[in-house]
Chain A
Amino acid sequence: MNPKRLEAGQVIDGFTLEQPLPPGGMASFWRVSRPGTDMPMLMKIPLMRRGEDPITIVGFEVEQMILARLTGPHVPRFVAAGDFEQPYIVMEFIAGRPVKSFLDNTPLPPAQVADIGARIAFALHDLHRQHVIHLDLKPSNVILRDDGEAVLIDFGLSRHDQLPDLVAEEFDDPVGTGPYVAPEQVLRDRGDPRSDIFALGVILYFLATGERPFGEPQRAAEWRRRLWRDPVPPRRRNEKIPPWLQEIILHCLEVDPGERYATAAQLAFDLQHPEQVVLTARAERRERDGWPTVLMRRLRTPKRLPPRDRTLSGLLAGAPIVLAAIDLAPEGAELREALAVAVRRVLTTSPGARLACVNVLKTSRIMVDPETDAHGRNLHLQRLIELKRWTRALPIAAERVTYHVIEAVDPAAALVDYARHTRIDHIVIGARGSSPVRRLLGSVSAKVVAEAPCTVTVVRLRQEPGAAASG
């Protein structure tokens, strides 16, 4: 089908072409309508130049395959696809602002970079949970909806973990977009979700400094350079970048995927909690590595990677964000110990886990609460100190633990909100003994179990038969 022949008013399989949109590199786009469908829709029609360009054909086939099974707010809703005689995809038209449009105003303030980054990271995590790695993440492939949610588009080079990888089978050379492609993609590994985290690191670098960390290499042969040559540290390009943001960006841009954030949710967590980012040597880096180091890296660069033994869902399952809800009341010491035992079990089986220790400081609805206790100590600070002490025997590195004291009138609602907002995978919470009053009023743990968006483990001290339940 020759796209030039399409005209407004033409009907394809029940869809009326309303208005042409600016074409992309491999497809033309039309706003379309269909009686009975209110959702704004877009038809994507591949540009078949000179007959059959394999990347266009296979990319279109892959996008049809993958988009049709994706759901949720972070992808355009799939409506219909046309087959080989009349190839097209109809999907939701996303009103909003492409991240590409922010590039005109770079460098952006760090808070805005973190905000955009966290939104994209949440979208990526949602995609990864649906077994898909994007593999062509770049500013033109992300749109921020008017409500702020990031939407990922263009799945022509994507990989579904449980479906045939048609792209890998068609092309012998690595595919992707030069500035954003991850080192392992250059080595033709298309199975690692952390490739998307690398690409997001490139976007963050670009937004924060106004420059691309690896320039704009055109030929795939030049892409290899990023396997050994580290980028100029962002703070060197823009001194207004705070150490925490450089830490996050360079953490994303590690050459070895194992050194990057394990999941996009963990990256989003850091972008949401700048004050809790543990600074390493990355944060202070002012120069690129010297030539001897770079030369050594170049000599050690493998030609190819060993085959992987973990699936995408296995990788995500091994790196959850665990929330421990800790009650610091003096009479709860025994329960806190039991909670630590339960958290230890979770951490032992999930080596990539992060732990968020949360205590809720209950406030009253009407009164202004005192900020200090009877001894004049700052309540907030005191609680952070106690939370830290609680984690001292847990099998997890300090940089993977964060501490949060949340002030709230309704502790259960606050915990559920926090878990939803930060994409917590697993909540571990203690339940005080049962009693008639507690059953009547409802306990915090029961409400969390009922409303949490994730797995909840409730820890309760064993009660001996006949022993009086405490309130």
Chain B
Amino acid sequence: MRIALMSDVHGNREAFAACLEHAAENGIDRYVFLGDYAGYGADPGWVIDTVGDHVGRGAIALLGNHDAAVLGTSVGMNPVAADAIDWTRGQLDERQRRFLADLPLSVEDDDRLYVHSSAFEPDAWHYVTDLYAASRSLMATQAHATFCGHTHVPALFHMSRTGKFASFDPVERVEIPLTPQRRWLAVLGSVGQPRDRDPAACYAILDDAAYALTYMRVPYDIERAARKILDAGLPAMLAARLFDGY
């Protein structure tokens, strides 16, 4: 089975559509969406509806912190993110809000765990950006492989049986075997707002027969996505950062 793992779409229709098309050409059997469909981008409604369609066909979808913020309060967010959340609230209808409200924080699937932020206190939205944060997540689960998003920076952490933690910067299109001898934590990067200085949309494919993970980068029409952000009256820096991938 080939599983497409996509996180942090953030209302970027152009990036999401490009990744879905790329995935469709790569023989995907199952889709997993790891949260944050809303916030920042100009098309949250379309993104949520598209995720909903996939869920209707068997896809897994999780709740992200921006989705939770749309439903509740944006306390603790920076002003730009909070602006975007306020704008997004006005864009969604009741059905879309109910869809978000029903999403789980994490899902276990065979020997895999899917979670938006970290396996350690998923509802506290910890960022897995370093070895320490990764080790807390790895210690919080028995899953062979954990997949998360939230940081917008792709990374791969692992823990050996002797308790050594290490990190690795994945190289795009290179199959990485998630060997059975250790536990793995894959941070997926972002579809709709990459922040690792590569503006191309990022997602990953897991082949569960070979147990190999492959990170993909998909170029998309950034100009169009950015123009829509400006036209919607959202903060201009949300459009500008798409070009830098930062």
Q: Are A164 and B156 in contact (CB under 8 A)?
A: yes
**SS of A interface (majority):** helix
Please report which residues of chain A, range 153-186, place their CB below 8 angstroms from some CB of chain B when the two chains form the complex: 162-164, 166, 169-170
Could you say which residues of chain B place their CB within 8 Å of the CB of A69? 175
Min CB–CB distance B154 → chain A (angstroms): 14
How many Å from the CB of A334 to the closest CB on chain B?
43
Q: Is the CB of B181 within 8 A of A170?
A: no
Q: Name A69's closest neighbour in chain B (CB-CB).
A: B175
**Which residues of chain B are near A57, meaning CB under 8 Å?**
161, 181
Q: Is the CB of A64 within 8 A of B164?
A: no
Binds A, one of B45-53, B69-77, B99-107, B166-174: B166-174
Report the count of interface residues on B (CB-CB < 8 A): 17
**Contact code string B154-165 (vs A, CB < 8 Å = 1, else 0):** 001010111010
Beta-carbon contact of A54 and B162 below 8 Å: yes
CB-nearest residue of chain B to A84: B180
Q: Which A residues, 37 to 94, have Cβ-Cβ distances below 8 Å to chain B?
A: 52, 54, 57-58, 60-61, 64-65, 68-69, 83-84
Residue of B nearest to A311 (CB): B171
Tally A-B pairs: CB < 8 A: 43
Asked if A65 and B164 sit within 8 Å, CB to CB, the answer is no
Question: Which residue of chain A has its CB nearest to the CB of B173?
Answer: A162
Residues of A close to B161: CB separation below 8 A: 52, 57
Chain B, interface SS category: loop
Residues of chain A at interface, number, CB under 8 A? 18
- Which residue of chain B has its CB nearest to the CB of A131? B174
Determine which of B156, B158, B179 lies in contact with A64 in the assembled complex, contact meaning CB atoms within 8 Å. Answer: B179
Q: A164 CA to B134 CA in the complex, in Å?
A: 16
CB closest chain-B residue, reference A164:
B168
CB-nearest residue of chain B relative to A58?
Answer: B160
Contact B180 A65 (CB under 8 A): no
The contact of A61 among B156, B176, B181, by CB within 8 Å, is B181
Chain A interface (Cβ < 8 Å from any Cβ of B): 52, 54, 57-58, 60-61, 64-65, 68-69, 83-84, 162-164, 166, 169-170
Closest 7 CB pairs of A and B: A169-B166, A164-B168, A162-B171, A162-B174, A61-B181, A83-B180, A84-B180
B residues neighboring A (CB under 8 Å): 156, 158, 160-162, 164, 166, 168, 171, 174-177, 179-182
Could you show 14 A-B contacts with beta carbons less than 8 Å apart?
A52-B161, A61-B179, A61-B181, A61-B182, A64-B177, A64-B179, A83-B180, A84-B181, A162-B171, A164-B166, A166-B160, A166-B166, A169-B160, A170-B160
